[in-house]
Amino acid sequence: MENLKKTPLIHEHERLNARLAPFGGWLMPIQYESILAEHVWCRESAALF
């Protein structure tokens, strides 16, 4: 595995059971509970990208 950079929030992503994947040299969260649950959350609350 390549030497990936990690965001300062990596431990929070891990605590939330995020699915992590390499992206542009970084280990990034790509999914949490499910795509449908994330969609509903964004529609009913707020989200940042």
Q: Are the C-beta atoms of 36 and 44 separated by less than 8 Å?
A: no
Number of domains in the chain: 1
Reduce the DSSP state of residue 47 to 3 states and report it.
coil
Instruction: Give the residue numbers spanning the domain of 31.
Output: 5-44
pLDDT of residue 1: 53
Q: Does residue 37 fall inside a structural domain? A: yes
Q: Does residue 23 fall inside a structural domain? A: yes
pLDDT of residue 47: 85
Q: Does the model's pTM come out above 0.85?
A: no
Condensed to tens digits (0 to 9), the pLDDT of residues 5-47 reads 999 999 999 999 999 999 999 999 999 989 999 899 899 998 8
First-last CA distance in the chain: 26
pLDDT of residue 18: 95
pLDDT of residue 26: 97
Q: Does residue 49 fall inside a structural domain? A: no
